[in-house]
Amino acid sequence: MTRRSLSKRAAVVAGTAALTLATVGTVAATAGPQHRDPQPGKDRIAGLFDTWNKALQTGDPKKVADLYASDAVLLPTVSDKIRTDRAGIVDYFEHFLQNKPVGVKVETMVNVLDKNSAIDTGVYAFTLTDPKTGAKSTVKARYTYEYEKRNGKWLIVNHHSSKMPEG
């Protein structure tokens, strides 16, 4: 082979390799994230309540507050005060957790907005235990959780809960 034919062959091989790498890179860029981070299903979002409810069972207000974004808003069930930062959210749960709340969803509707945001809204009921008497009561309330996925973790960015007006 002559030097010229070797140069042509090298150029063809180099061009083919570059085209192959570009094609593989494009396929990886378009297909990769979709496979690694798919849009969550409604069951996944509805299950975030179970995580939150289990955090309540620990009795640790900081563990509950860890499920909220740092800029979250909490409109709580049994307080007139709106909580807009971690300290306020911790303060609310310090008081609420004294009643040993156990929540159960009665009705739920989930809207997945995109792969990083969703809303879970409906009705839940809490069994509360009076810390002084041990008497149990049930509070039925409407709720809305707005979730965002931040740094790979689903966090509550807005939580509204209010007692049912009829009861």
* Nearest Cα residue to 75 out of 161, 11, 134, 163: 161
Specify the range with the lowest mean pLDDT, choosing from 7-11, 63-67, 140-144: 7-11
Task: List alpha helices for the chain, DSSP H.
Answer: 3-36, 42-57, 61-65, 86-96
Summarised one tens digit per residue, pLDDT across range 57-95 is: 999 999 999 999 999 999 999 899 999 999 999 999 999
Q: What is the pTM of this model?
A: 0.77
pLDDT at 24: 41
Please say if the pLDDT value at position 161 is more than 70.
yes
Query: Domain range spanning residue 122?
Result: 42-163
Would the pLDDT of 30 be above 50? no
Residues 55 and 28 in one domain: no
Q: In the numeric block, which tokens belong to residue 9?
A: 């062959």
143 in the same domain as 69: yes
**Domains held by the chain: number:** 2
Instruction: Sheet containing 117-129: give its strands across.
Output: 68-75, 153-163, 136-150, 117-129, 102-114
Q: Do 146 and 84 share a structural domain?
A: yes
List phi, psi (to 5°) of 105: -75, 135
Q: Are residues 11 and 71 in the same domain?
A: no
User: Are 47 and 128 in the same domain?
Assistant: yes
